[in-house]
Amino acid sequence: MNRVGKYAIQKDMDETGLLKTALELPEKDKMLMWSEGYIDLVIDKLPEYGKDILVNRKDKWEDTKAYFQDQLDNILSKEEVKVKMKSERKEFALFVIENFKEFQSLLFLCYDGNLKDLDLRKFVYRKRYGTRKINS
């Protein structure tokens, strides 16, 4: 959790101070709050006049997440993928690496039945900033 998130959970937090701190964050750190799932906590604590600063960005990132979810759903709906998902993990892995490298991490999560909304948000963050891993 970054300093804005930590400040937002303090009992003696000041709305104006929180807004100032949030505005000083670079875009990457704002998106990190969203990808790690605590941006709503920060938005709720902001004064009314400052909420749309993060809400508009959050909406943009949610749209991007929906775009990637649609692409993933299209891949998963292909008959060839459905057949490979029923095969052994190694065979599925080779198929994914060869055909869908960009969606590799998400497809493995789908294969294991563990894909969560948080995983999609982290995927969007990595696509934008090219980092391999987000510390949670």
* Cα gap 22→5, rounded to integer Å: 9
Which runs of consecutive H residues, i.e. helices, occur in the chain? 3-8, 15-24, 27-35, 39-45, 51-77, 79-85, 89-99, 104-112, 117-129
Q: Which two tokens stand for residue 100?
A: 């869908």
Confidence of residue 2 (pLDDT cuts 50, 70, 90): confident
Q: Given its phi and psi angles, is residue 47 left (phi above 0), alpha (psi -120 to 50 degrees) or beta?
A: beta
Please give the C-alpha separations between residue 121 and each of 26, 37, 49, 62, 79, in angstroms, as whole numbers. 18, 8, 26, 8, 27
pLDDT over threshold 60, residue 136: no
Residue 15 half-sphere exposure toward CB, CA atoms < 13 A:
9
Query: What single DSSP character describes residue 116?
Result: -
Closest to 107 measured CA to CA, from 97, 38, 46: 97
Report if pTM > 0.75: yes
Q: pLDDT at position 5, please?
A: 85
The pLDDT assigned to 131 comes to 64
Residue-averaged pLDDT of the chain: 91
pLDDT per residue over 42-73, tens digit each? 999 999 998 998 999 999 999 999 999 999 99
